[in-house]
Structure 1
C-alpha cells in the first residue's frame, strides 16, 4: 500500500528513483512509453468540442432550458474552473506518494470526471438549471485535476532537452486524434438521423477512451522523481510569479493562444465573407488546418532539437504571422488551393503545445536547482490557466468588436458595411498577426539554452 500525504514536510521526497523501464536500448525513452503516457489525452480532447458547441445547444433545445440560464451556468463554471488549476498545481507539488504525485491525482480525477460526464452528457428529461450547473462544476473541476496532473507528469518523464520535445509531440498527436474522432461522430449515419443522440454518443466516447488511456499510462509509465525536492512555501510561489523567464513564456503563450481562439471564432465569418465559401467548404478548410497540425507535431519536435526550442518557437510564431498575410493577401480561387494554404497554416499550430510546454519543464528544473523546491505542477497549472484565459478573452473581444461594427452574421448574401469588413479583417488577420509577432519576440529572449539546460541536469544529477 502506497503511503501518500499532501503536507508541508521537508527533506527528500519518496518517489520512483530510477527510470523503471522508461529507457529504450539507445538511452532514450521507448515509443511505447511515450504513447502510453499520451493515451489519456484522447479522452481529454474529446471533452472540448462538446463543451464549447454541443452542450449549450443540447440543454437549450433538447432539455429546453432558457438560453440565458445556460449561458450563465457556463460563465460561472468557466470562471471557477480557471481558479481550480493553481490549486491542483499546488496540490501536486505538495504531495508525497510512492505511487507518484502526478499519477495519484490523475488516478483520483479520472473516476470523478467519468461520473461528471455521465451526469452532464446524459441528463434525464426533467433536468433543470441546477443539474446543468452541478454537472459543469464537476466536469470542469475533475477535468482540471486530470489535465494539470497529466501535463505536469509529462515534464518529469525525462530531463533530456530533446526527449521532452518528443514526449509532448506524442501528447499533442493523440490530443488531435481525440479531437478528430469526436468531430467525426455527428457525421455517422445513425447520428445524422438522430441529432439528439450526438451529445450522449460523445459522452460514451469519453467514458470508453478516458479510462483505457489512463489505465495504460498508470500501468506502463512509472513516475520518475528526484530526491532533492522540498515542499514549496509561500515565498516560492511569490518569487515564481516574478521570474522573468516564466512570465515571458506565459505572456507569449497567452498572446498566441488568444489570437488562435479569436481567429477560430472568426473562422466561418471570415471565409464566408472574404472568400465566399459556404459552411461545408469552410469546414473542409478547418479539417485541412487539423491535418496540418497533425503533421506539425513531428516537424516541431525535430525543429526544437535542431534549432533549440526558443529559436524554433520564434520561427513558428513568425511563420504564423506570415501565414495570416498569405491567407488574406494571396489570391486563391479553388478550394484545393485553400486547403493547401490552410494546411500550411495548421503546420505551425502544433509548435506552441509542444515547445512551450517543453520549455516550461526546463524552467522547472532550473528553478529546482536554484531553490530545491519542485514546482513542476504549479508551472503546468499556469500554462493551463493561460490557455483558458485566452479561450475566454480572445473570442469575447473579437466577437464584441464585430458586433459593435455592425457585422450581420445572418446576412450571407447581403454585402456587409465597409466598417464591418474592416473590423472583421482586423479581428481575424491583423490583430492575431501582431500578437504572434510579439510572441516571437518574447520567446527569442528565452534565457534557457540547450547548453544551460544540460548544465542544470548535470548539477541536479550530482545533488540527487
Structure 2
C-alpha cells in the first residue's frame, strides 16, 4: 500500500479547472434568480394565483425546508464512498430538481396552494442537496485563506452568468416576436437542459479528497452546540441578514422599477441585467479585496457602500437609464461580494472547528448557512407580499395604484434592506480569524492529515487545479 504524498499548495488555483468545477453554478444560479424574481409575479399575474396564496406557499415551504438542511449536511459529512463524499450527493440531487422545475414552470392556471407547496418543497430540496454538496466540495478543494476567496469568487461569477441568462431569455424571446412559448416557461426549460450538461462538466475533471475524521461522527444532537460558538453565530447572523436585504428587494424588484421608477417591464429587466452583469466583475474584485484587507473587513466595507447606493435610487430621475445604469452596476458589483465573503468565511470556520473537534463539519456548516438564507427568503417574500396585500396594492397587469400605495412599496424596497445589510457587516466587528490565524490552523490540520488512513490523493486535486504534477486520481491507502 502506498503512502499519500501531500505537496505544499502554491496558493493558486488554475482558472480553467476552477471554471469547470463551477459549471453547475450556472443552472443553479439561473433557477435561484428566476424563483426569487420571475416565478412569484408569474404565478400572481399570469396564472391568476392571489398574492396571499403565493406569499403563503413560499413562506410555508421555506420554513419546512429549513429543517431538512441540517440532516442533509450531516449525511454529507458522514458519507464515505469510493466516488467521494460530496460528489455522490451532487449527482443525487439532480433528478429531483429537474422534475420539480418541470412541474413548477408548467403549473396550471389557478394552481392551488397545495400544488405550489408540494413542488416548491421538492425544488428547494433538490436545490439544497446540489448547492450544499457543491459548496462543501469547494471548501475541501481550496485549502488556504486566499484560495477560499478566489474559488468562491469564481463560483459567484459563473453564477452571475446563469442569473443573467434567466433574465435574457424572456427579453430575447420578446425581441424575436415569439408567441409560441411562454418566456418564463422557457427559463424553466433552459434550467432543465443545463443541469445534466453542467453536472458532467463539473464532475469529470475534478477529483475529491476526503478529510480525516478523528473520534466519533458528528451527531444530530451536537447540532445545537455549534450555536455556542461565537464565530458560527457571527457568520450565520451575517448570512441571514445579507441574504434578507437583497432577497427582500428581489421580491419587489419588478413592482418597484415599473410602478415607482417609471420603467417598462423590458427596461426593468435590462437594469436588472446590468445589476447582475456587474457581479461578474464584482465577485472576483471582492475576493481580491478580501485577500488584501481580510474577508470580514471587505464585507463590512461592501455592505456600507451598498446601502449608500440604495438610497440614491430614490433621487434619480424616473425612467432615465443614463442615471440608473451606473448606480445599478455599482450596486450589483457590491452585492455579488456578499455571498463570496460569507461562504469563504464559513469554510475558514469549518477548518477551525475540525482542528478543535477532529470531525468534518463543513457540510453541516453550509447547511446552517443555507438554512439562514432560506429563512431570509421565507420572510422576504412572505412579509413583503402580505404587506402589499394589506395596503391594497394591486399586482395585476395594468392595475392603477395610489400614491400612498406606491410610497409603501418604495419604503419596503429601500429601508428594510439597508438595515439588514448594515447589521450583517456589523456582525464581524472584532472578528479574529484572519489570514495569519487561518494559516496556523491549516498548518496543524495538514500535519495531522498526513496520517489519514483512507483519502483521495490530494496531489491529484492540486494537479487538477494548479496544473502541477505530483499525484494520482485513485484512492491511496496507507
Residue 462 of structure 1 is matched in structure 2 by: 447
Of 188-197 and 428-437, more deviation after overlay is shown by 188-197
Q: Give 1:448 shift.
A: 0.8
Report the secondary structure of 1:454's partner residue.
helix
Q: Give 1:206 shift.
A: 2.1
2:203 counterpart (215, 218, 240) = 218
2:403 counterpart (388, 403, 416) = 416
Is the Cα–Cα contact under 8 Å of residues 249 and 446 in structure 1 kept in the other structure?
no
Residues in 1 aligned to 2:231 and 2:344: alpha-carbon distance in whole angstroms: 13
Residues 79/196 of structure 1: CA separation in 2 closer, same or farther (3 Å cut): farther
Of 88-97 and 217-226, more deviation after overlay is shown by 217-226
Residues in 1 aligned to 2:193 and 2:16: alpha-carbon distance in whole angstroms: 21
Residues 133/444 of structure 1: CA separation in 2 closer, same or farther (3 Å cut): closer
Report the secondary structure of 2:17's partner residue.
helix
Matched, 1:80 2:64: yes
Q: Give 1:89 shift.
A: 0.6
- RCO comparison, higher one (Cα < 8 Å, 6+): 2
Q: Give 1:52 shift.
A: 4.5
2:243 counterpart (236, 250, 257) = 257
Report the secondary structure of 1:223's partner residue.
coil
Q: Give 1:407 shift.
A: 4.9
Alignment of 1:192-207 (within 5 A): 192-194=177-179, 196-207=181-192
Q: Give 1:298 shift.
A: 1.8
Residues in 2 aligned to 1:196 and 1:175: alpha-carbon distance in whole angstroms: 25
For residues 166-224 of structure 1, the C-alpha deviation after alignment (integer angstroms, 9 at most, x for no partner) is 11111111111112112222233488533654455333322321112211222111112
Of 250-259 and 323-332, more deviation after overlay is shown by 323-332
Residues 346/136 of structure 1: CA separation in 2 closer, same or farther (3 Å cut): closer
Residues in 1 aligned to 2:4 and 2:312: alpha-carbon distance in whole angstroms: 50
Residues 365/121 of structure 1: CA separation in 2 closer, same or farther (3 Å cut): same
Residue 385 of structure 1 is matched in structure 2 by: 371
Residue 11 of structure 1 is matched in structure 2 by: none
Residues in 2 aligned to 1:263 and 1:116: alpha-carbon distance in whole angstroms: 25
Alignment of 1:278-297 (within 5 A): 278-297=264-283
Of 259-268 and 291-300, more deviation after overlay is shown by 259-268
Residue 150 of structure 2 is matched in structure 1 by: 166
Residue 38 of structure 1 is matched in structure 2 by: 22
Is the Cα–Cα contact under 8 Å of residues 347 and 362 in structure 2 kept in the other structure?
yes
1:436 counterpart (415, 421, 428) = 421
Is the Cα–Cα contact under 8 Å of residues 45 and 395 in structure 2 kept in the other structure?
no
Residues 142/322 of structure 1: CA separation in 2 closer, same or farther (3 Å cut): same
Residue 162 of structure 2 is matched in structure 1 by: 178
For residues 16-73 of structure 1, the C-alpha deviation after alignment (integer angstroms, 9 at most, x for no partner) is 96679x97xx552221221111111112123234544665677789889899877766
How many residue pairs get aligned? The number is: 444
Residues in 2 aligned to 1:394 and 1:78: alpha-carbon distance in whole angstroms: 11
1:341 counterpart (327, 331, 351) = 327
Is the Cα–Cα contact under 8 Å of residues 103 and 119 in structure 2 kept in the other structure?
yes
Q: Give 1:304 shift.
A: 0.8
| Gaps in structure 2 of 5+ consecutive residues | 450-478
Residues in 1 aligned to 2:43 and 2:413: alpha-carbon distance in whole angstroms: 30
Matched, 1:320 2:306: yes
| Gaps in structure 1 of 5+ consecutive residues | 1-15
Report the secondary structure of 1:350's partner residue.
helix
Matched, 1:364 2:355: no
For residues 109-141 of structure 1, the C-alpha deviation after alignment (integer angstroms, 9 at most, x for no partner) is 22333344445545799x998776654443332
For residues 374-415 of structure 1, the C-alpha deviation after alignment (integer angstroms, 9 at most, x for no partner) is 110011111111111111112333344444455565797765
Residues 389/195 of structure 1: CA separation in 2 closer, same or farther (3 Å cut): farther
For residues 404-455 of structure 1, the C-alpha deviation after alignment (integer angstroms, 9 at most, x for no partner) is 45556579776513xx465444322223222222212112332311111011
Residue 13 of structure 2 is matched in structure 1 by: 29
Residues in 2 aligned to 1:407 and 1:57: alpha-carbon distance in whole angstroms: 13
Of 184-193 and 384-393, more deviation after overlay is shown by 184-193
Residues in 2 aligned to 1:414 and 1:135: alpha-carbon distance in whole angstroms: 32
Residues in 2 aligned to 1:400 and 1:271: alpha-carbon distance in whole angstroms: 19
Residues in 2 aligned to 1:322 and 1:132: alpha-carbon distance in whole angstroms: 37
Residues in 2 aligned to 1:398 and 1:319: alpha-carbon distance in whole angstroms: 24
Alignment of 1:97-246 (within 5 A): 97-118=81-102, 120-121=104-105, 134-189=118-173, 192-194=177-179, 196-230=181-215, 231-234=217-220, 236-246=222-232
Is the Cα–Cα contact under 8 Å of residues 212 and 359 in structure 2 kept in the other structure?
no
Of 420-429 and 307-316, more deviation after overlay is shown by 420-429
Report the secondary structure of 1:276's partner residue.
coil
Residues 78/364 of structure 1: CA separation in 2 closer, same or farther (3 Å cut): same
Matched, 1:394 2:380: yes
Report the secondary structure of 2:77's partner residue.
helix
Residues in 1 aligned to 2:297 and 2:46: alpha-carbon distance in whole angstroms: 50
Report the secondary structure of 1:96's partner residue.
coil
Report the secondary structure of 2:360's partner residue.
coil
